[in-house]
Amino acid sequence: MNPFKEMQALVLVATHGSLSAAARVEGVTPAIMARRLDSLEERLGSRLLHRTTRRISFTEAGQNYLEDCVRILNDLAGAEAAAARGSVQVSGHLRMTAPAGFGRKHVAPHVQQFLKLHQDVSVTLDLSDRLVDLVNEGFDCGIRLGELVDSNLVSVRLAEMRRVVVGAPDYLARYGVPQVPEDLLKHNCLALGPQRGWTFRTSLSQSSLSTIKTRTIRVKGPMECNDGVVLAEWSRAGGGLAWRSMWEVGEDLQSGRLVSVLDDWAAPPVGIYAVFPERRHLPLKVRAFVDLLKDAYGLKDYWVPTLADTVKTIKPVLSVPPHNPARS
Cα distance between residue 49 and residue 142, in whole Å: 27
Predicted local distance difference test score (pLDDT) of residue 301: 78
* pLDDT, tens only, 246-284: 888 988 999 999 999 999 998 888 889 999 887 656 788
Is there a contact between 78 and 89 (Cβ–Cβ < 8 Å)?
no
- Domain 89-161+271-297 identical in fold to domain 163-268+309-327: yes
Residue 286's nearest CA partner among 145, 101, 142 is 142
The residue extents of the domains of the chain are: 3-81, 89-161+271-297, 163-268+309-327
Helix (H, G, I), strand (E, B) or coil at 88: coil
Q: Is 232 exposed, middle or buried (0-12, 13-18, 19+ CB in 10 A)?
A: buried
Superfamily (CATH) of domain 89-161+271-297: Periplasmic binding protein-like II (3.40.190.10)
Helix (H, G, I), strand (E, B) or coil at 225: strand
Instruction: Provide mean pLDDT across the span 85-114.
Output: 87
Give every CB contact of residue 116 below 8 A, 6+ residues apart in sequence.
none
Instruction: Pick 161 or 239 by higher pLDDT.
Output: 239
For 212-326, strand residue ranges (E) read 214-218, 224-225, 241-245, 259-261, 270-277
* pLDDT, tens only, 279-320: 656 788 998 999 999 999 988 778 765 444 444 334 433 434
| CATH annotation of 3-81 | 1.10.10.10
The DSSP element (H or E) to which 100 belongs, if any, is helix 100-106
Fold assignment, 163-268+309-327: D-Maltodextrin-Binding Protein; domain 2 (3.40.190)
Helix (H, G, I), strand (E, B) or coil at 294: helix
The DSSP element (H or E) to which 174 belongs, if any, is helix 169-175
pTM score:
0.64
